[in-house]
Copies of this chain bind each other. A is one copy, B any other.
Amino acid sequence: MAKVIANMSMSLDGFIADTADGIDNLFGWMGNGEIEVPTAVEWATFRMSPASAAYMKEALENAGALITGRHLYDITSGWGGKHPLGVPVFVVTHRLDAEAPSDAFTFAGNVAEAVAEAKKAAGDRNVVVASAKIAQQCLDAGLLDAIHVDLVPVLLGSGVRWFENLAKSPVRLGDPVVIEGHGVTHLAYEVQR
């Protein structure tokens, strides 16, 4: 059964990007190790600690679709037409008339629609939500099954927070599965409903 999983790299003080959308301080763990983790695209190959590499390989294998927001899609220029995950990408946007860069991209008018379509595309694999705002909208709508935090040992002090303005709080999570990497602690939480 496909799960809908929000996944982000986050600083200990809760930021998933700095004030200029920069992620330099949060993604070092993807390149600081000796194990190569190829992705679906040539321009992105990770080099991670053994623990992170095993964790990432499993996540890549289990991913069946990706949901992202328009903002991330725009600042990455639609990942040049192919996302590193190599799975169908569903972009939540109000501008449905935009032209998709390839067959792998679909525009969806809202989160519920994106989740429904992504689940269909993913089959029995997982739907990964890689956007702070979209993850929060999924959580608010009761559509999120898990939160996988790649917790980075840094305090950024300012930037873009992951979960803000929750519709219903507190949101209780289960105890996480913990994987200790280098420059990151992977914490995989299930959302309790």
Contact = CB atoms under 8 A, between A and B. Distances in A.
Interface of A: 11-14, 25, 139, 147, 149, 151, 153-158, 161-166, 169-176, 178, 180-183, 185, 187, 189
B169 A165 contact: no
A157 B165 contact: yes
Contact of A189 (B12, B149, B170): B12
5 contacts: A13-B162, A14-B14, A157-B169, A175-B183, A178-B185
Nearest to A153: B173
Contacts of A173: 12, 153-155
A134 to B, nearest CB: 16
Contacts of A155: 139, 163, 166, 169-171, 173
Contact of A187 (B25, B139, B185): B185
B183 A170 contact: no
A164 B14 CA distance: 11
Majority-rule SS of A interface residues:
loop
Given A12-B189, A14-B14, 18 more contacts: A11-B170, A12-B187, A13-B163, A153-B172, A153-B176, A153-B189, A154-B172, A155-B163, A155-B169, A155-B171, A155-B173, A157-B169, A157-B171, A158-B166, A175-B180, A175-B181, A175-B182, A185-B187
A182 B176 CA distance: 10
Closest 7 CB pairs of A and B: A157-B169, A157-B166, A153-B173, A14-B14, A155-B171, A13-B163, A154-B170
Nearest to A24: B170
A147 B155 CA distance: 11
Nearest to A192: B153
Contacts of A163: 13, 155, 157
Contacts of A139: 155
